[in-house]
Amino acid sequence: MSGLFNLRRYGASIARHHLLTGGPTRRRPPPHANVFGRALHTTSVLDRVVSFHLSDIGEGIREVTVKEWYVKVGDVVEQFDNLCEVQSDKASVTITSRYDGKIIKLYHDVDGIALVGKPLLDFDVDEEGDDSGSSSSSSSDSSSDEEETKKAPMPQVEAAGGQMPAGKVLATPAVRRIAMENKVDLSKVPATGRNGRVLKGDVLEFLEVIPKGTVKPHPSLVAKEQRKPETSSPGDPKQSETVVPLKGVAKAMIRSMTEALKIPHFAYCDEVDVTRLVEVRSQLKEEAARQGVKLTYMPFFLKAASNALLQHPILNSTFDEPAETVIYKHYHNISVAMQTPQGLVVPNVKNVEQKSILQIAQDLNALQERGAKGALTPNDFANGTFALSNIGIIGGTYTHPVVMTPQVAIGGLGKTRVLPRFDDAGQVVPAHIMVVSWTADHRVIDGVTMASFSNLWKQYLENPNLLMLGAK
Protein backbone atom coordinates (compact mmCIF):
# COMPACT_ATOMS: atom_id res chain seq x y z
CA MET A 1 0.00 0.00 0.00
CA SER A 2 2.81 2.41 0.82
CA GLY A 3 4.31 1.76 -2.62
CA LEU A 4 0.99 2.64 -4.24
CA PHE A 5 0.89 5.82 -2.11
CA ASN A 6 4.31 6.87 -3.43
CA LEU A 7 3.25 6.20 -7.00
CA ARG A 8 0.20 8.43 -6.54
CA ARG A 9 2.27 11.08 -4.82
CA TYR A 10 5.04 11.39 -7.40
CA GLY A 11 3.46 10.05 -10.58
CA ALA A 12 1.82 13.33 -11.61
CA SER A 13 5.03 15.26 -10.93
CA ILE A 14 7.10 12.87 -13.05
CA ALA A 15 4.57 12.98 -15.89
CA ARG A 16 4.53 16.78 -15.77
CA HIS A 17 8.31 16.93 -16.03
CA HIS A 18 8.24 14.49 -18.95
CA LEU A 19 5.83 16.74 -20.86
CA LEU A 20 7.83 19.90 -20.11
CA THR A 21 11.19 18.55 -21.16
CA GLY A 22 10.10 16.21 -23.94
CA GLY A 23 12.42 13.54 -22.59
CA PRO A 24 12.62 10.86 -19.96
CA THR A 25 13.14 11.60 -16.30
CA ARG A 26 16.18 10.07 -14.70
CA ARG A 27 15.41 8.88 -11.21
CA ARG A 28 18.02 8.25 -8.56
CA PRO A 29 16.87 5.67 -5.96
CA PRO A 30 18.05 6.03 -2.36
CA PRO A 31 21.03 3.99 -1.22
CA HIS A 32 18.95 1.51 0.79
CA ALA A 33 16.56 0.70 -2.04
CA ASN A 34 16.69 -2.76 -3.60
CA VAL A 35 17.33 -1.95 -7.24
CA PHE A 36 17.00 -5.61 -8.21
CA GLY A 37 13.68 -6.10 -6.48
CA ARG A 38 10.18 -4.96 -7.23
CA ALA A 39 9.62 -1.62 -8.97
CA LEU A 40 7.45 -0.28 -6.13
CA HIS A 41 9.16 0.50 -2.84
CA THR A 42 8.20 2.14 0.43
CA THR A 43 10.72 4.98 0.59
CA SER A 44 9.21 8.40 1.31
CA VAL A 45 11.67 10.36 -0.84
CA LEU A 46 12.19 10.11 -4.58
CA ASP A 47 14.94 12.38 -5.96
CA ARG A 48 14.92 13.40 -9.61
CA VAL A 49 17.86 14.49 -11.74
CA VAL A 50 16.84 16.68 -14.67
CA SER A 51 19.16 17.82 -17.46
CA PHE A 52 18.58 21.43 -18.49
CA HIS A 53 19.18 21.72 -22.26
CA LEU A 54 20.10 24.89 -24.16
CA SER A 55 17.04 25.94 -26.14
CA ASP A 56 17.07 27.21 -29.71
CA ILE A 57 17.64 30.99 -29.59
CA GLY A 58 16.88 31.55 -33.27
CA GLU A 59 18.70 32.83 -36.35
CA GLY A 60 20.09 29.37 -37.09
CA ILE A 61 22.52 29.65 -34.17
CA ARG A 62 23.90 26.22 -33.28
CA GLU A 63 26.50 27.11 -30.67
CA VAL A 64 27.16 29.83 -28.12
CA THR A 65 29.96 30.81 -25.76
CA VAL A 66 29.25 30.65 -22.03
CA LYS A 67 30.10 34.20 -21.01
CA GLU A 68 29.36 33.98 -17.27
CA TRP A 69 27.84 31.55 -14.77
CA TYR A 70 25.53 33.05 -12.14
CA VAL A 71 25.33 29.75 -10.24
CA LYS A 72 27.70 27.03 -9.05
CA VAL A 73 27.35 23.39 -8.08
CA GLY A 74 25.44 23.14 -4.82
CA ASP A 75 23.39 26.31 -5.29
CA VAL A 76 19.63 26.07 -4.74
CA VAL A 77 17.69 27.97 -7.40
CA GLU A 78 14.07 28.71 -8.20
CA GLN A 79 12.13 29.18 -11.40
CA PHE A 80 13.14 32.30 -13.36
CA ASP A 81 16.46 32.67 -11.51
CA ASN A 82 19.32 33.64 -13.83
CA LEU A 83 21.60 30.67 -14.56
CA CYS A 84 24.15 32.01 -17.03
CA GLU A 85 24.81 34.45 -19.84
CA VAL A 86 25.70 33.12 -23.27
CA GLN A 87 27.14 34.99 -26.25
CA SER A 88 26.36 34.14 -29.85
CA ASP A 89 27.71 35.91 -32.90
CA LYS A 90 24.60 38.09 -32.72
CA ALA A 91 23.98 39.06 -29.11
CA SER A 92 24.18 38.13 -25.45
CA VAL A 93 21.29 36.13 -23.98
CA THR A 94 20.58 35.44 -20.29
CA ILE A 95 19.38 31.87 -19.63
CA THR A 96 16.88 31.45 -16.76
CA SER A 97 15.79 28.38 -14.81
CA ARG A 98 12.60 26.45 -15.50
CA TYR A 99 12.83 24.46 -12.27
CA ASP A 100 13.14 24.74 -8.51
CA GLY A 101 16.02 22.62 -7.30
CA LYS A 102 19.69 22.19 -6.56
CA ILE A 103 22.51 22.49 -9.11
CA ILE A 104 24.50 19.25 -9.18
CA LYS A 105 26.54 19.60 -12.38
CA LEU A 106 27.74 22.30 -14.81
CA TYR A 107 28.67 20.99 -18.25
CA HIS A 108 30.77 23.96 -19.42
CA ASP A 109 33.38 26.31 -18.04
CA VAL A 110 33.40 30.07 -18.71
CA ASP A 111 34.35 30.69 -22.38
CA GLY A 112 33.36 27.11 -23.19
CA ILE A 113 31.24 26.29 -26.24
CA ALA A 114 27.67 25.12 -25.58
CA LEU A 115 25.63 23.47 -28.33
CA VAL A 116 21.92 24.10 -28.87
CA GLY A 117 19.90 21.11 -27.69
CA LYS A 118 22.69 19.76 -25.47
CA PRO A 119 22.77 19.87 -21.64
CA LEU A 120 23.93 23.03 -19.88
CA LEU A 121 23.57 21.75 -16.32
CA ASP A 122 21.83 19.14 -14.15
CA PHE A 123 19.22 19.82 -11.46
CA ASP A 124 18.23 17.81 -8.44
CA VAL A 125 14.59 18.91 -8.75
CA ASP A 126 12.59 19.86 -5.68
CA GLU A 127 9.59 17.47 -5.64
CA GLU A 128 7.62 19.53 -3.15
CA GLY A 129 7.64 22.72 -5.30
CA ASP A 130 7.00 25.93 -3.43
CA ASP A 131 5.51 24.18 -0.38
CA SER A 132 8.80 22.59 0.59
CA GLY A 133 9.29 25.57 2.87
CA SER A 134 10.44 29.14 2.66
CA SER A 135 14.07 28.07 2.41
CA SER A 136 13.88 27.29 -1.31
CA SER A 137 16.40 30.05 -2.04
CA SER A 138 18.91 29.08 0.64
CA SER A 139 20.19 25.79 2.00
CA SER A 140 21.11 27.41 5.34
CA ASP A 141 17.55 28.09 6.60
CA SER A 142 16.63 26.47 9.90
CA SER A 143 14.07 23.68 10.34
CA SER A 144 12.12 25.87 12.77
CA ASP A 145 10.89 27.85 9.74
CA GLU A 146 9.13 24.76 8.41
CA GLU A 147 7.60 23.95 11.80
CA GLU A 148 6.25 27.47 12.22
CA THR A 149 4.92 27.42 8.68
CA LYS A 150 2.89 24.28 9.44
CA LYS A 151 1.36 26.05 12.46
CA ALA A 152 0.37 29.09 10.42
CA PRO A 153 -3.41 29.43 9.80
CA MET A 154 -2.95 29.79 6.05
CA PRO A 155 -3.82 27.06 3.48
CA GLN A 156 -0.96 25.41 1.64
CA VAL A 157 -1.32 25.47 -2.14
CA GLU A 158 0.79 23.33 -4.45
CA ALA A 159 2.71 25.66 -6.77
CA ALA A 160 3.08 24.76 -10.41
CA GLY A 161 5.90 27.26 -10.90
CA GLY A 162 6.67 30.90 -10.25
CA GLN A 163 5.78 33.65 -12.65
CA MET A 164 6.19 37.42 -12.81
CA PRO A 165 3.26 39.26 -14.43
CA ALA A 166 4.15 42.66 -15.79
CA GLY A 167 4.39 45.31 -13.08
CA LYS A 168 4.18 42.87 -10.18
CA VAL A 169 6.58 41.55 -7.60
CA LEU A 170 8.37 38.29 -8.42
CA ALA A 171 6.67 35.50 -6.41
CA THR A 172 5.16 32.06 -6.95
CA PRO A 173 1.36 31.49 -7.10
CA ALA A 174 1.32 29.92 -3.61
CA VAL A 175 2.96 33.01 -2.11
CA ARG A 176 0.51 35.27 -3.93
CA ARG A 177 -2.37 33.19 -2.60
CA ILE A 178 -1.19 33.62 0.99
CA ALA A 179 -0.70 37.34 0.47
CA MET A 180 -4.13 37.75 -1.11
CA GLU A 181 -5.93 35.86 1.66
CA ASN A 182 -4.20 37.99 4.29
CA LYS A 183 -4.56 41.24 2.32
CA VAL A 184 -0.81 41.79 2.11
CA ASP A 185 0.71 44.08 -0.53
CA LEU A 186 3.70 42.06 -1.80
CA SER A 187 5.48 45.23 -2.88
CA LYS A 188 5.82 46.15 0.82
CA VAL A 189 7.22 42.77 1.88
CA PRO A 190 11.05 42.71 2.21
CA ALA A 191 12.26 40.05 -0.24
CA THR A 192 15.09 37.64 0.57
CA GLY A 193 15.04 35.52 -2.61
CA ARG A 194 17.39 35.93 -5.53
CA ASN A 195 16.57 38.79 -7.91
CA GLY A 196 14.05 40.21 -5.40
CA ARG A 197 11.82 37.13 -5.23
CA VAL A 198 9.35 37.21 -2.30
CA LEU A 199 9.36 33.86 -0.51
CA LYS A 200 6.67 32.29 1.65
CA GLY A 201 8.79 32.90 4.74
CA ASP A 202 9.04 36.60 3.86
CA VAL A 203 5.23 36.89 3.97
CA LEU A 204 5.05 34.92 7.23
CA GLU A 205 7.65 37.20 8.81
CA PHE A 206 5.74 40.23 7.55
CA LEU A 207 2.59 38.85 9.23
CA GLU A 208 4.65 38.11 12.38
CA VAL A 209 3.66 34.45 12.22
CA ILE A 210 7.33 33.50 12.53
CA PRO A 211 10.11 35.48 14.24
CA LYS A 212 11.98 38.14 12.33
CA GLY A 213 15.24 36.90 10.84
CA THR A 214 14.05 33.30 10.49
CA VAL A 215 14.41 33.41 6.70
CA LYS A 216 18.04 33.85 5.66
CA PRO A 217 18.74 35.97 2.53
CA HIS A 218 19.92 34.16 -0.57
CA PRO A 219 23.73 34.08 -0.86
CA SER A 220 25.06 36.87 -3.02
CA LEU A 221 26.43 35.98 -6.38
CA VAL A 222 30.05 35.00 -6.45
CA ALA A 223 32.11 37.81 -7.98
CA LYS A 224 33.98 37.00 -11.12
CA GLU A 225 37.60 36.25 -10.40
CA GLN A 226 40.05 38.72 -11.80
CA ARG A 227 42.50 37.10 -14.13
CA LYS A 228 46.08 37.90 -13.19
CA PRO A 229 48.86 38.04 -15.76
CA GLU A 230 51.44 35.30 -15.53
CA THR A 231 54.54 36.23 -13.59
CA SER A 232 57.89 35.82 -15.23
CA SER A 233 61.50 36.29 -14.30
CA PRO A 234 63.23 39.70 -14.70
CA GLY A 235 64.46 40.27 -18.21
CA ASP A 236 61.94 37.87 -19.69
CA PRO A 237 60.24 39.41 -22.80
CA LYS A 238 56.94 37.96 -21.59
CA GLN A 239 56.95 40.56 -18.82
CA SER A 240 55.82 43.13 -21.38
CA GLU A 241 53.18 40.85 -22.92
CA THR A 242 49.58 40.23 -21.93
CA VAL A 243 47.67 37.29 -23.38
CA VAL A 244 43.95 38.03 -23.73
CA PRO A 245 41.63 35.28 -25.03
CA LEU A 246 39.09 36.52 -27.54
CA LYS A 247 35.46 36.04 -26.57
CA GLY A 248 32.03 37.49 -27.15
CA VAL A 249 31.73 39.88 -30.09
CA ALA A 250 35.46 39.72 -30.85
CA LYS A 251 35.35 35.93 -31.11
CA ALA A 252 32.25 36.08 -33.30
CA MET A 253 34.07 38.51 -35.62
CA ILE A 254 36.70 35.85 -36.32
CA ARG A 255 34.05 33.55 -37.76
CA SER A 256 32.17 36.24 -39.69
CA MET A 257 35.30 37.77 -41.23
CA THR A 258 36.65 34.33 -42.15
CA GLU A 259 33.41 33.70 -44.04
CA ALA A 260 33.70 37.11 -45.70
CA LEU A 261 37.12 36.16 -47.10
CA LYS A 262 35.33 33.75 -49.44
CA ILE A 263 33.57 36.66 -51.18
CA PRO A 264 35.15 38.33 -54.24
CA HIS A 265 34.58 41.97 -53.28
CA PHE A 266 33.83 44.61 -55.90
CA ALA A 267 34.42 48.25 -54.81
CA TYR A 268 32.93 51.50 -56.09
CA CYS A 269 33.35 55.05 -54.69
CA ASP A 270 31.70 58.39 -55.40
CA GLU A 271 31.28 61.89 -53.97
CA VAL A 272 27.92 63.19 -52.76
CA ASP A 273 27.13 66.90 -52.31
CA VAL A 274 24.94 66.91 -49.18
CA THR A 275 24.73 70.72 -48.85
CA ARG A 276 20.94 70.76 -49.25
CA LEU A 277 20.58 67.80 -46.90
CA VAL A 278 22.52 69.70 -44.22
CA GLU A 279 20.01 72.56 -44.56
CA VAL A 280 16.94 70.28 -44.46
CA ARG A 281 18.18 68.38 -41.44
CA SER A 282 18.95 71.64 -39.64
CA GLN A 283 15.36 72.81 -40.25
CA LEU A 284 13.82 69.53 -39.01
CA LYS A 285 16.14 68.82 -36.08
CA GLU A 286 14.41 71.10 -33.57
CA GLU A 287 10.92 69.84 -34.45
CA ALA A 288 12.11 66.24 -34.09
CA ALA A 289 13.64 67.09 -30.71
CA ARG A 290 10.27 68.45 -29.52
CA GLN A 291 8.85 65.02 -30.33
CA GLY A 292 11.60 63.36 -28.32
CA VAL A 293 13.58 62.13 -31.35
CA LYS A 294 17.25 62.76 -32.05
CA LEU A 295 17.47 63.35 -35.81
CA THR A 296 20.86 62.54 -37.37
CA TYR A 297 21.78 62.12 -41.03
CA MET A 298 21.55 58.33 -40.90
CA PRO A 299 17.72 58.15 -41.24
CA PHE A 300 18.02 60.09 -44.52
CA PHE A 301 20.74 57.72 -45.73
CA LEU A 302 18.59 54.69 -44.86
CA LYS A 303 15.46 56.05 -46.53
CA ALA A 304 17.40 57.00 -49.67
CA ALA A 305 18.89 53.50 -49.78
CA SER A 306 15.45 51.93 -49.40
CA ASN A 307 14.00 54.02 -52.25
CA ALA A 308 16.94 53.07 -54.47
CA LEU A 309 16.61 49.39 -53.56
CA LEU A 310 13.08 49.43 -54.96
CA GLN A 311 14.65 50.11 -58.37
CA HIS A 312 17.54 47.67 -57.88
CA PRO A 313 16.08 44.79 -55.83
CA ILE A 314 18.99 42.41 -56.46
CA LEU A 315 21.04 44.48 -53.98
CA ASN A 316 18.40 43.64 -51.35
CA SER A 317 18.94 39.90 -51.65
CA THR A 318 20.94 37.08 -50.12
CA PHE A 319 23.10 34.53 -51.89
CA ASP A 320 22.61 30.82 -51.16
CA GLU A 321 26.00 29.45 -52.15
CA PRO A 322 25.26 25.68 -51.86
CA ALA A 323 22.14 26.00 -54.00
CA GLU A 324 23.64 28.73 -56.23
CA THR A 325 20.47 30.79 -55.96
CA VAL A 326 19.66 34.42 -55.15
CA ILE A 327 16.83 35.05 -52.68
CA TYR A 328 15.12 38.41 -53.23
CA LYS A 329 13.80 40.09 -50.07
CA HIS A 330 10.65 42.18 -50.31
CA TYR A 331 11.33 43.85 -46.96
CA HIS A 332 14.16 46.31 -46.32
CA ASN A 333 15.83 45.46 -42.99
CA ILE A 334 18.87 47.71 -43.29
CA SER A 335 21.75 46.90 -40.94
CA VAL A 336 23.65 49.75 -39.30
CA ALA A 337 27.11 49.28 -37.79
CA MET A 338 27.44 50.83 -34.33
CA GLN A 339 30.06 50.80 -31.60
CA THR A 340 28.98 49.52 -28.17
CA PRO A 341 30.81 48.67 -24.92
CA GLN A 342 30.74 45.04 -26.10
CA GLY A 343 32.35 45.92 -29.44
CA LEU A 344 31.16 46.62 -32.99
CA VAL A 345 27.68 45.22 -33.64
CA VAL A 346 25.38 45.45 -36.66
CA PRO A 347 21.68 45.42 -35.74
CA ASN A 348 19.09 46.42 -38.32
CA VAL A 349 16.13 48.77 -38.70
CA LYS A 350 13.10 46.71 -39.72
CA ASN A 351 10.91 47.48 -42.76
CA VAL A 352 12.51 50.79 -43.73
CA GLU A 353 10.44 50.87 -46.92
CA GLN A 354 7.26 51.25 -44.81
CA LYS A 355 8.49 54.01 -42.49
CA SER A 356 8.93 57.76 -42.54
CA ILE A 357 12.26 59.41 -41.78
CA LEU A 358 11.05 60.29 -38.27
CA GLN A 359 9.99 56.68 -37.59
CA ILE A 360 13.37 55.44 -38.82
CA ALA A 361 15.08 57.92 -36.48
CA GLN A 362 13.00 56.60 -33.55
CA ASP A 363 14.02 53.00 -34.31
CA LEU A 364 17.67 54.01 -34.61
CA ASN A 365 17.54 55.84 -31.26
CA ALA A 366 16.07 52.73 -29.62
CA LEU A 367 18.77 50.46 -31.10
CA GLN A 368 21.52 52.80 -29.94
CA GLU A 369 20.10 52.94 -26.41
CA ARG A 370 19.87 49.14 -26.17
CA GLY A 371 23.34 48.80 -27.63
CA ALA A 372 24.82 51.17 -25.05
CA LYS A 373 23.23 49.08 -22.29
CA GLY A 374 24.26 45.75 -23.83
CA ALA A 375 20.58 44.87 -24.16
CA LEU A 376 20.34 44.12 -27.89
CA THR A 377 18.39 40.92 -28.58
CA PRO A 378 18.78 38.30 -31.35
CA ASN A 379 15.72 39.80 -33.05
CA ASP A 380 17.60 43.10 -33.46
CA PHE A 381 20.08 41.28 -35.71
CA ALA A 382 17.65 38.96 -37.50
CA ASN A 383 16.98 38.98 -41.25
CA GLY A 384 19.20 41.87 -42.34
CA THR A 385 19.07 42.53 -46.09
CA PHE A 386 21.44 45.48 -46.75
CA ALA A 387 24.01 47.39 -44.68
CA LEU A 388 25.44 50.86 -44.11
CA SER A 389 28.45 51.77 -41.96
CA ASN A 390 29.11 55.40 -41.01
CA ILE A 391 32.89 55.49 -40.54
CA GLY A 392 32.72 59.29 -40.91
CA ILE A 393 31.70 59.78 -37.29
CA ILE A 394 35.20 58.54 -36.36
CA GLY A 395 36.87 60.75 -38.95
CA GLY A 396 37.67 58.59 -41.99
CA THR A 397 36.99 59.65 -45.57
CA TYR A 398 37.51 56.53 -47.65
CA THR A 399 36.95 52.94 -46.60
CA HIS A 400 36.49 49.43 -47.96
CA PRO A 401 33.66 47.83 -45.94
CA VAL A 402 33.35 44.06 -45.79
CA VAL A 403 30.16 42.41 -47.04
CA MET A 404 28.30 40.53 -44.30
CA THR A 405 27.26 37.11 -45.55
CA PRO A 406 24.71 36.18 -46.78
CA GLN A 407 24.01 39.80 -47.80
CA VAL A 408 25.45 40.96 -51.12
CA ALA A 409 26.26 44.67 -50.64
CA ILE A 410 27.30 47.27 -48.05
CA GLY A 411 28.02 51.01 -48.07
CA GLY A 412 30.66 52.88 -46.08
CA LEU A 413 29.99 56.57 -45.40
CA GLY A 414 32.94 58.93 -44.99
CA LYS A 415 33.29 62.16 -43.08
CA THR A 416 31.42 65.17 -44.48
CA ARG A 417 33.85 67.99 -45.29
CA VAL A 418 33.36 71.55 -46.50
CA LEU A 419 35.28 71.81 -49.80
CA PRO A 420 35.39 74.31 -52.67
CA ARG A 421 33.21 73.37 -55.65
CA PHE A 422 31.91 75.10 -58.78
CA ASP A 423 28.22 76.03 -58.90
CA ASP A 424 26.07 76.17 -62.06
CA ALA A 425 27.34 79.70 -62.82
CA GLY A 426 30.97 78.60 -62.60
CA GLN A 427 31.56 80.32 -59.28
CA VAL A 428 33.59 78.67 -56.53
CA VAL A 429 31.33 78.02 -53.55
CA PRO A 430 31.69 76.02 -50.32
CA ALA A 431 29.98 72.64 -50.47
CA HIS A 432 29.42 69.82 -47.97
CA ILE A 433 31.01 66.79 -49.61
CA MET A 434 30.72 63.21 -48.39
CA VAL A 435 32.46 60.20 -49.94
CA VAL A 436 30.58 56.90 -50.12
CA SER A 437 32.41 53.61 -50.64
CA TRP A 438 30.36 50.63 -51.82
CA THR A 439 31.44 47.01 -51.87
CA ALA A 440 29.43 44.13 -53.28
CA ASP A 441 29.60 40.38 -53.85
CA HIS A 442 30.92 40.22 -57.41
CA ARG A 443 29.51 36.72 -57.83
CA VAL A 444 26.05 38.29 -57.86
CA ILE A 445 26.44 42.05 -58.38
CA ASP A 446 28.11 43.62 -61.41
CA GLY A 447 29.64 47.08 -61.69
CA VAL A 448 26.82 48.63 -63.71
CA THR A 449 24.21 47.63 -61.12
CA MET A 450 26.25 49.01 -58.24
CA ALA A 451 26.99 52.29 -60.04
CA SER A 452 23.34 52.74 -61.07
CA PHE A 453 22.17 52.18 -57.51
CA SER A 454 24.77 54.63 -56.19
CA ASN A 455 23.72 57.32 -58.67
CA LEU A 456 20.07 57.01 -57.62
CA TRP A 457 20.95 57.04 -53.91
CA LYS A 458 23.12 60.12 -54.54
CA GLN A 459 20.25 61.85 -56.36
CA TYR A 460 17.93 61.44 -53.35
CA LEU A 461 20.49 62.92 -50.97
CA GLU A 462 21.49 65.85 -53.19
CA ASN A 463 17.77 66.64 -53.65
CA PRO A 464 16.28 65.62 -50.28
CA ASN A 465 12.82 66.92 -51.22
CA LEU A 466 12.56 63.86 -53.47
CA LEU A 467 12.51 61.75 -50.29
CA MET A 468 9.25 63.45 -49.33
CA LEU A 469 7.52 62.26 -52.51
CA GLY A 470 5.64 59.11 -51.59
CA ALA A 471 7.03 59.24 -48.05
CA LYS A 472 5.42 56.77 -45.64
Residues identified as active-site: 442, 446
- HEC string of the chain equals CHHHHHHHHHHHHHHHHHHHHCCCCEEECCCCCCCCCCCCCCCCCCEEEEEEECCCCCCCCCEEEEEEECCCCCCEECCCCEEEEEECCCCEEEEECCCCEEEEEECCCCCCEEECCCEEEEEEECCCHHHHCCCCCCCCCCHHHHHHHHHCCCCCCCCCCCECCCCCCCECHHHHHHHHHCCCCHHHCCCCCHHHCCCHHHHHHHCCCCCCCCCCCCCCCCCCCCCCCCCCCCCCHHHHCCCCCCCCHHHHHHHHHHHHCCCCEEEEEEEEECHHHHHHHHHHHHHHHHCCCCCCCHHHHHHHHHHHHHHCHHHHEEEECCCCEEEECCCCCEEECEEECCEEECCEECCHHHCCHHHHHHHHHHHHHHHHHCCCCHHHHCCCCEEEEEHHHCCCCCCCCCCCCCECEEEEECCCEEEEEECCCCCEEEEEEEEEEEEEECCCCCHHHHHHHHHHHHHHHHCHHHHHCCCC
How are strands ordered across the β-sheet holding 101-106?
A: 26-28, 47-53, 119-125, 101-106, 76-77
Report how far residue 138's alpha carbon sits from residue 145's, in angstroms, rounded to the nearest whole number: 12
Q: Rounded CA gap, 178 and 170, in Å?
A: 14
CA neighbours closer than 13 Å in the CB half-sphere of residue 200 = 30
Q: Which amino acid is at 467?
A: L
From 286, 294, 302, select the one nearest 460 (Cα to Cα): 302
